[in-house]
């Protein structure tokens, strides 16, 4: 069993190091240290636990020879000594097995050990105990783990020793009174002393554990009682330990029992009776200013800028609207378009101008990967999506592939591994020992078959899985597709969390409760080469800085982030959702994100993606509702400004705000032409679906708009209807321009089935399309656009001359 364990560990270590060396020398160095640290922790845990249990079992084994068992023959009574020498092997084997069972999980503490060894300093002291926040983030988890491990060993040793001594007769009942052998008493006395030491250790940790809890569960009276009583309980525990050691030397049974009765009674009074007496009688442990300061540090709310909107002039439509959504574009391309992999918003740059778009990544039946870009801020006259190409300045009405990728490119749905030939990225298979190690580590038996010379194998082809292995100290977000310098690149945000951050509200993070979340890293993974780059975010967290020092250069500074990557990266969405939840709570209480209603039973609406008016980058938006007033009380936006993360909360006055989502949608549904459009689409066999509600801020106040998408029976999706709202105004139409004109009272929406554009608008669109194709040198597309323009204007085919 030991050989199998060491063999698998060695094969995994070698394979990971070879794989990481393809990425960077720093990655190979960190992966090697990571494996050694985890192995060292498991080995130390198993050795310590095995030595502990073997020692106690040997003490019990020694006592077997001193135990005398009564035997009655006729009327005579004999005492027979037990000498089971054959049990020595069983004792050693049992101790080793117990030690492996208890100590093999010590590797799960590697993050805590590495962080505590490196040290974390915030330069900020919590207001109650006056300790630096880094003590709770980096040191307390290790103290807690070490104390729990020691206490477990002591309790198992005490329980096992008592059971074995009772089994061999060292502890028994004589004349209805308990009796204990001298050897057993000495052994158990020292174990009880160790238990008292573990309890004293735990009592000293109680003030730290109390502060590593939400502030709403703590008041001043409870804190003062715990801070004062904790040293007293530790002293009582140490006294009980000393008396237990004395009992091990001398049979002072009453004294030892009294000491433990006092310890147990004191613990019950301070942990059960005293808290119930103090509950609700004390003042809050923290004032609002201290709570707000700690929450800002824990959840990255320091740069939060809070303003109150002062409308200037009349409401204005969105400068760069976001008309599409991922759900609508997933069905936008008619026909058999292959398997959809992902749909992500992105910015494409052409001629120095940024254009908002959605990147659609699909795989064909042959495994080829195609990337399509759909313009987000405009649609065709019929409401169909317009497609973009690299280098073009205008969108095209015909589906166009942005570029193709090889079938073995890195995607979220990539296979477990790939075997390639030539100079492709991967680990060289090479000799049979190397091949055996790779096959064992990857559990890939086909690597032992006949492979061409020079074959390479690459694995962890999913961007998220690749980052989780290269930098396992962070929690990585789902990959987001971006086009950077003409290549498909996956962007991922890396988060660091702490479950022991003091005096902050707890939040749910990936199935665990944490007290702080920070977007610490930004990583890029090239879809074709698999190259990984990890950078610190411009705002550096002390935990992230510590991991940067630990990683041996794997993490690059924020100044090394290319401008093209910063221009493509948005605000971390998972962090944005966490920050929204914090603003709902005390001391902020900025509003309610999503009140619980019968229609929406506690669901958490996702943050809506939009675009900055100057197309400098993507913007995340969330709305806050005034509790019990059915109106918006504020708008939270997250964006990047010159690479730096910006968070802004704009409070809305009751006289210049919008109703909540349900009220807006009910009012929009009363438009007669909306019902007529819905009936018309259903009669044709289609279906009208509602897109996400989006809210933007302008100089004239907040503006809300929502698209409605028609699903055609033959396939494909069109933008069929748009509803808009401004304070005290509503509008709707077939396009955003028509809906805004209707909001201003200038026009009435066109009825279903009517043309949305005139011949002049259609001719202008084809003329611009032909001009774009001419500049790009695409003569076939230019000819098609020119022919469509002639047909629209009624020019005969034979009258055209070049």
Are residue 133 and residue 279 in the same domain, yes or no?
Answer: yes
Asked whether the bond before 587 is cis by omega within 30 degrees of 0, the reply is yes
Are residue 267 and residue 207 in the same domain, yes or no?
Answer: yes
More confident residue, 227 or 778: 227
Are residue 275 and residue 135 in the same domain, yes or no?
Answer: yes
Model confidence at 515, in pLDDT bands (50, 70, 90)? very high
Indicate whether 85 pLDDT > 70.
no
For position 86, what pLDDT does the model report? 57
For position 800, what pLDDT does the model report? 39
Indicate whether 489 pLDDT > 80.
yes
Are residue 254 and residue 144 in the same domain, yes or no?
Answer: yes
N- to C-terminal Cα separation, the chain: 83
Q: Under a CB-based contact definition with an 8 Å cutoff, are residues 495 and 473 in contact?
A: no
Within-domain flag for 559:
no
Within-domain flag for 604:
no
For position 597, what pLDDT does the model report? 40
Enumerate long-range contacts of 432-440, CB under 8 Å, 24 or more apart.
436/11, 437/10, 437/11, 437/14, 437/15, 438/11, 438/15, 438/18, 440/7, 440/8, 440/11
Lowest model confidence (mean pLDDT) among 184-188, 598-602, 695-699:
598-602
Q: Under a CB-based contact definition with an 8 Å cutoff, are residues 221 and 281 in contact?
A: yes
Indicate whether 781 pLDDT > 90.
no
Model confidence at 606, in pLDDT bands (50, 70, 90)? low
Within-domain flag for 591:
no
Model confidence at 799, in pLDDT bands (50, 70, 90)? very low
Indicate whether 586 pLDDT > 90.
no
| Cα separation, 447 vs 433, whole angstroms | 12
How many other C-beta atoms can be found within 10 angstroms of the C-beta atom of residue 4? 8
Indicate whether 751 pLDDT > 60.
no
Indicate whether 600 pLDDT > 50.
no
Question: Which of 405, 431, 448 represents a domain boundary (last residue)?
Answer: 405
For position 282, what pLDDT does the model report? 63
Are residue 171 and residue 246 in the same domain, yes or no?
Answer: yes
Are residue 739 and residue 763 in the same domain, yes or no?
Answer: no
Model confidence at 353, in pLDDT bands (50, 70, 90)? confident
For position 195, what pLDDT does the model report? 96
Phi/psi of residue 339, nearest 5 degrees: -90, 130
- The parent domain of residue 790 ranges over 759-799
Within-domain flag for 171:
yes
For position 599, what pLDDT does the model report? 39
Are residue 347 and residue 376 in the same domain, yes or no?
Answer: yes
The counts of H helices and E strands in the chain are 22, 29
Q: Under a CB-based contact definition with an 8 Å cutoff, are residues 47 and 2 in contact?
A: no
Query: For the chain, what is the domain count?
Result: 4
Sheet (strand 608-611) strand order: 305-308, 644-651, 632-641, 618-625, 608-611
Residues paired with residue 525 on neighbouring β-strands, in sequence order: 490, 532
pLDDT digit string, tens, across residues 311-347 = 888 888 898 999 999 988 888 776 555 788 899 999 8
Mean pLDDT score, 171-180: 80
Mean pLDDT score, 768-793: 72
Mean pLDDT score, 355-379: 87
Nearest to 205 by CA among 294, 139, 119, 111: 139
Model confidence at 5, in pLDDT bands (50, 70, 90)? confident
Are residue 266 and residue 163 in the same domain, yes or no?
Answer: yes
Average model confidence (pLDDT) across the chain: 85
Model confidence at 288, in pLDDT bands (50, 70, 90)? confident
Are residue 785 and residue 690 in the same domain, yes or no?
Answer: no
User: Hunting for tokens 């050989």 — which residue is that?
Assistant: 3
Indicate whether 68 pLDDT > 70.
no
Within-domain flag for 140:
yes
pLDDT digit string, tens, across residues 237-264 = 999 999 999 999 888 888 999 999 999 9
Within-domain flag for 618:
no
Are residue 277 and residue 376 in the same domain, yes or no?
Answer: no
Percent of the chain with pLDDT over 70: 89
For position 682, what pLDDT does the model report? 82
Model confidence at 601, in pLDDT bands (50, 70, 90)? very low
Indicate whether 87 pLDDT > 90.
no
pLDDT digit string, tens, across residues 387-435 = 988 877 778 888 888 888 888 889 998 888 888 887 778 889 888 888 8
pTM: 0.87
Both tokens of residue 622?
Answer: 């969330």
Within-domain flag for 203:
yes
Model confidence at 714, in pLDDT bands (50, 70, 90)? confident
For position 534, what pLDDT does the model report? 96
Question: Which of 388, 405, 422 represents a domain boundary (last residue)?
Answer: 405
For position 798, what pLDDT does the model report? 45
Are residue 263 and residue 394 in the same domain, yes or no?
Answer: no
Are residue 221 and residue 194 in the same domain, yes or no?
Answer: yes
Within-domain flag for 766:
yes
């Amino acid at each position: 069993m030991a050989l199998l364990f060491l063999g698998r560990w060695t094969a995994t270590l070698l394979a990971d190091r070879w794989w990481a060396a393809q990425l960077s020398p720093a990655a190979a160095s960190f992966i090697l240290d990571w494996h050694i640290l985890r192995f060292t922790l498991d080995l130390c845990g198993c050795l310590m636990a095995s030595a502990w249990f073997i020692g106690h079992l040997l003490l019990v084994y020694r006592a077997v020879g001193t135990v005398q068992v009564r035997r009655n023959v006729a009327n005579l009574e004999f005492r027979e000594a037990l000498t089971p020498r054959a049990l020595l092997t069983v004792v050693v084997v049992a101790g080793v097995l117990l030690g492996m069972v208890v100590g093999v999980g010590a590797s799960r503490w590697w993050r805590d050990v590495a962080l505590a060894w490196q040290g974390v300093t915030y330069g900020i002291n919590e207001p109650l105990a006056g300790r630096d926040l880094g003590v709770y983030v980096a040191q307390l988890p290790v103290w807690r783990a070490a104390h729990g491990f020691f206490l477990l060993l002591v309790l198992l040793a005490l329980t096992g020793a008592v059971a074995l001594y009772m089994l061999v007769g060292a502890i028994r009942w004589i004349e209805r009174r308990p009796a204990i052998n001298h050897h057993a008493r000495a052994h158990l006395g020292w174990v009880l002393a160790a238990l008292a030491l573990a309890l004293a250790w735990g009592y000293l940790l109680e003030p730290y554990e109390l502060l590593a809890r939400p502030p709403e569960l703590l008041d001043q009276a409870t804190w003062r009682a715990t801070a004062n009583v904790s040293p007293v309980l530790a002293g009582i525990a140490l006294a009980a330990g000393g008396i237990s050691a004395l009992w091990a030397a001398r049979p002072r049974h009453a004294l030892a029992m009294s000491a433990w009765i006092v310890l147990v009674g004191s613990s019950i009074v301070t942990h059960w009776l005293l808290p119930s007496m103090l509950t609700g009688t004390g003042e809050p442990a923290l004032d609002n200013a201290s709570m707000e300061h700690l929450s800002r540090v824990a959840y990255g709310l320091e740069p939060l800028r809070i303003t109150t909107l002062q409308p200037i002039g009349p409401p204005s439509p969105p400068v760069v609207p976001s008309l599409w959504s991922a759900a609508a574009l997933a069905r936008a391309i008619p026909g058999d378009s292959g398997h959809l992999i992902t749909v992500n918003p992105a910015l494409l740059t052409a001629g120095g101008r940024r254009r908002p778009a959605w990147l659609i990544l699909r795989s064909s039946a042959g495994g080829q990967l195609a990337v399509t870009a759909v313009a987000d801020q405009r649609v065709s006259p019929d409401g169909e999506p317009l497609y973009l190409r690299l280098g073009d300045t205008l969108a095209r009405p015909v589906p166009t592939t942005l570029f193709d990728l090889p079938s073995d490119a890195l995607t979220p749905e990539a296979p477990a591994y790939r075997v390639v030939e030539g100079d492709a990225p991967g680990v060289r298979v090479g000799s049979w020992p190397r091949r055996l190690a790779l096959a064992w580590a990857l559990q890939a038996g086909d690597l032992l078959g006949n492979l061409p010379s020079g074959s390479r194998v690459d694995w962890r082809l999913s961007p998220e899985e690749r980052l989780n292995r290269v930098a396992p100290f962070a929690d990585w977000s789902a990959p987001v597709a971006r086009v950077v310098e003409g290549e498909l690149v996956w962007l991922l945000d890396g988060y660091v969390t702490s479950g022991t951050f003091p005096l902050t509200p707890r939040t749910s993070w990936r199935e665990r409760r944490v007290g702080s979340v920070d977007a610490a890293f930004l990583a890029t993974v090239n879809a074709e080469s698999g190259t990984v780059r990890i950078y610190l975010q411009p705002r550096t967290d002390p935990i992230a800085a510590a991991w940067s020092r630990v990683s041996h250069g794997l993490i690059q500074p924020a100044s090394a982030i290319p401008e093209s990557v910063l221009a493509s990266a948005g605000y971390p969405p998972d962090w944005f959702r966490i920050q929204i939840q914090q603003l709902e709570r005390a001391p902020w209480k900025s509003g309610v994100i999503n009140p619980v209603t019968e229609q929406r039973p506690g669901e958490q609406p996702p943050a809506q993606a939009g675009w900055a008016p100057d197309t400098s980058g993507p913007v995340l938006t969330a709305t806050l509702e005034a509790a019990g007033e059915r109106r918006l009380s504020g708008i939270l936006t997250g964006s990047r400004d010159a690479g730096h993360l910006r968070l802004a909360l704009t409070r809305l006055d009751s006289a210049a705000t919008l109703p909540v989502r349900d009220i807006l949608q009910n009012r929009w549904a009363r438009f007669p032409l909306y019902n007529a459009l819905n009936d018309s689409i259903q009669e044709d066999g289609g279906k009208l679906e509602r897109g996400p509600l989006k809210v933007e801020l302008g100089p004239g106040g907040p503006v809300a708009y929502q698209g409605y998408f028609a699903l055609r029976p033959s396939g494909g999706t069109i933008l069929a209807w748009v509803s808009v709202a401004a304070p005290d105004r509503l509008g709707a139409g077939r396009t955003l321009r028509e809906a805004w004109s209707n909001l201003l009272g200038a026009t009435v929406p066109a009825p279903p089935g009517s043309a949305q554009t005139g011949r002049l608008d259609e001719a202008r669109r084809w003329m611009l399309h032909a001009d774009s194709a001419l500049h790009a040198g695409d003569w076939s597309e230019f000819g098609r656009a020119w022919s469509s323009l002639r047909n629209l204007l009624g020019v005969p085919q034979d009258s055209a001359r070049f």
